[in-house]
Amino acid sequence: MNAELLKLRLLALPRWTAIAVLGGVVVTGAMLDVFPRDDGAAFIGVMGTVTSLLTEIAAIVLGAWAATLEFNSGALQRTLTAQADRSRVLLAKLGVLVLAVAALAIAAAAAAGGLVDVVTRQQGIDLDRGELARTLFANVPAAITVTVVAFGLGLLTRSIGGAITVALTFVLVLPGLLVFLPAVNRLVYATFEGDMTSRLAGDVAPGVEVHSLPVAVLGVVVWAVVLLVPGWLRFLRDDLK
Amino acid sequence: MVTAGSSAHPIEFEQVTKTFGKRTVLSDLSFSVPEGTVVGMLGPNGSGKSTAMRVLLGLYSATSGRARVLGQAKGDRGFAEAVRRVGTIIEAPPLYKRLSPIDNLRIRVAATGFSAGDAEVRGLLNRVGLAGRLDDPVGDFSLGMRQRVGIALALVGDPKIVVLDEPTNGLDPAGSFEIRKLIQELPGRGITTLVCTHRLAEIESTCDYAVLMQRGRLVAEGTLDEIRARSTVGGHRIQVAPEALERAVATLTALGLGQVSVDDGDVVLARTLDDPSVLTRALAQQGIYLRGLQTQHANLEEAFLEITGTDQDGTQP
């Protein structure tokens, strides 16, 4: 686990990903200051959407990166001679990754909330701060599950580019493609994840059909497991160099 | 030679076969490496050396047979702990190129769980001649310097075994010399070393014992002298009085030790004997006394080519 923490700390991609997420939040806060909105809900909506999108993309990039790092750097032999128990290697990677993404998502939500608070106070706009916090922090579980999905796809494809592309398609594009097949669309990962986030944020519009929170969580967990297990088993069983 | 679980043989291959689909890469490979020795695994490109190393380290699963490291084979309870005591470089040193040598070693130390402070890490890098470049990204290093970082990585945590695959690949003569010197120091630290190479000079300058492979099979093993002795290129050149020449040829031929001929007034036995006194005794019993006896050894290259029937690149003549 220490080695995975060191990789996160020393290697460039995690650092730049964190900078991109937090930088994106800061830039959004600045934009809201420069181009003010009329009501607090608009501030929450803009910042909530940006934070959600940034953390999900970061989670996908970090998940794919962590799973494929050794394949891409040729350091797999070094990792597997330091720890020949492959399940432990994956558990350490995934454990550290989930903690890191959760920390990043919480930091992004906190920064976003702080910025919105400062900007709305300066502009004298009334804001439901409870709603702001719920909206921003509701993204954290989604970021974690997206990480697991991207990690699983990384193990399966063994290509960071391939894993990111497939994960982005799966999480962000597929629901749009299936909009004309609502019965199918209700069962895809992104719908369960979106419904889970909406329920946690308490942001369910009247008349919109949304899974209940337990069903949404169950759907997300099942999808995460389904997408994680094949790559995990492939890593355990294959000849690796 | 293979003794299951023997601590005297930290590396053991026992009838290991590895196939990829219909292609057999290792075929019934059996040999073991005595503790504290430097053993060379020699073979042309594609002979299965790297695959054998990967099977040993559990990166590949053997199709049949068992490869043991410190008495533990893949699937055994103690295998992970045993492999942790092995320092390796298989093919190119696996490095994070944007990190410094120190950070590369820190990750290795953390991954293995060994306790090594910064001073020890720096000491290890100093020992492989990288004292002046400790904080530079290894991506800026020459191939030789990366290989040194690889050797330092292999030495993290005082390994019991070091497995090196083509350790001087791409190095200039000075770099190769320094790496060989490092390898020669390993037995003194109690480290058993397996050097996998297609370079005969590397084996001759660093190894006590060699295993010759061809097309996934072990074709010969032994000390370097034993392997050289298997070549017909070496032999003994014997000087006797001219009038005794014919009798000497007849006497040595009767011993059945190998082809005997006459060359430039000398009797030539086309085989190197471990104990040439056999010749002197046989001749003395016939009343033939030697004026001289020279032993000629084939070099390892000649022996290797003769045993495998190939050139060094694995091409059949």
% of chain B residues with pLDDT over 90: 30
Cα distance between the two ends of chain B: 32
Chain segment B64-95, per-residue pLDDT in tens: 999 999 999 998 989 998 998 898 887 777 78
Whole-number Å distance between alpha carbons of B193 and B49: 14
Q: Domain range spanning residue A131?
A: 2-237
Helix (H, G, I), strand (E, B) or coil at A70: helix
User: Using an 8 Å Cβ cutoff, are A6 and B102 in contact?
Assistant: no
Contacts of B307 (CB under 8 A, 6+ apart): B212, B219, B220, B227, B230, B231
Q: Do B57 and A80 touch (CB under 8 A)?
A: yes
Which single residue is written with the structure tokens 């910064």?
A: B118
Q: In which band, very low, low, confident or very high, does the pLDDT at B114 lie, cut at 50, 70 and 90?
A: confident
Q: Do A11 and B80 touch (CB under 8 A)?
A: no
Average pLDDT over residues B132-158: 87
% of chain B residues with pLDDT over 70: 95
Average pLDDT over residues B169-173: 77
Angle at A224 between CA A223 and CA A229, to 5 degrees: 105
Whole-number Å distance between alpha carbons of B160 and B69: 10
H/E element holding A45? helix A40-73
Q: Which residue of B has its CA nearest to A235?
A: B59
Strands (E), B155-254: 161-165, 192-197, 209-214, 217-223, 235-239
Q: Count of CB contacts below 8 A, A vs B?
A: 85
DSSP state letter for B313: T
Average pLDDT over residues B127-156: 86
Pick from A25-29, B229-233, B299-303: least confident? B229-233
Q: What is the pLDDT of residue B312?
A: 46
Domains of chain B (ranges; CATH) run 11-228 (3.40.50.300), 235-296 (3.30.70)
- Alpha-carbon distance A93 to nearest alpha carbon in chain B (angstroms): 11
- Alpha-carbon distance B116 to nearest alpha carbon in chain A (angstroms): 13
Chain segment A174-213, per-residue pLDDT in tens: 888 888 888 888 999 999 999 999 999 988 877 778 899 9
Average pLDDT over residues B277-282: 90
User: Using an 8 Å Cβ cutoff, are A210 and A226 in contact?
Assistant: no
Interface test with B, best of A7, A15, A78, A235 (most B CBs within 10 A): A78
Q: What is the pLDDT of residue B131?
A: 84
Task: Of B130, B167, B145, give the one whose Cα is nearest residue B95.
Answer: B145
- Would you tell me how many other CB atoms lie within 10 Å of the CB of residue B5? 12
Q: In which band, very low, low, confident or very high, does the pLDDT at B232 lie, cut at 50, 70 and 90?
A: low
User: Using an 8 Å Cβ cutoff, are B17 and B60 in contact?
Assistant: no
- Alpha-carbon distance B165 to nearest alpha carbon in chain A (angstroms): 12
Give the closest of B61, B79, B88 to A77, CB-based. Answer: B88
Q: Which residue of A has its CA nearest to B156?
A: A82
**Has residue B194 got a pLDDT over 60?**
yes
Alpha-carbon distances, residue B270 vs A222, B225, B235, B291, B296 (angstroms): 74, 16, 5, 19, 9
- Alpha-carbon distance A165 to nearest alpha carbon in chain B (angstroms): 24
Which ipTM value was assigned to this complex? 0.78
Q: What is the pLDDT of residue B310?
A: 59
**pLDDT of chain A along its 241 residues, tens only?**
788 998 988 899 999 999 999 999 999 999 988 887 778 888 899 999 999 999 999 999 999 999 999 888 778 888 888 888 999 999 999 999 999 999 999 999 999 999 999 999 888 888 888 999 999 999 999 999 999 999 999 999 999 999 999 999 988 888 888 888 888 889 999 999 999 999 999 888 777 788 999 999 999 999 999 999 999 999 999 988 7
CB-based contact, A78 to chain B, within 8 Å: yes
Pick from A96-110, B21-35, B266-280: least confident? B266-280
In the numeric block, which tokens belong to residue B61?
A: 């699963």
Number of structural domains (chain A) is 1
Q: What is the pLDDT of residue B7?
A: 62
Give the closest of A5, A11, A77 to B59, CB-based. Answer: A77
Q: What is the pLDDT of residue B227?
A: 82
Q: What is the pLDDT of residue A182?
A: 85
Average pLDDT over residues B181-186: 86
Query: Among residues 182-241 of chain A, which lie with CB inside 8 Å of chain B?
Result: 239-241
Average pLDDT of chain B is 85
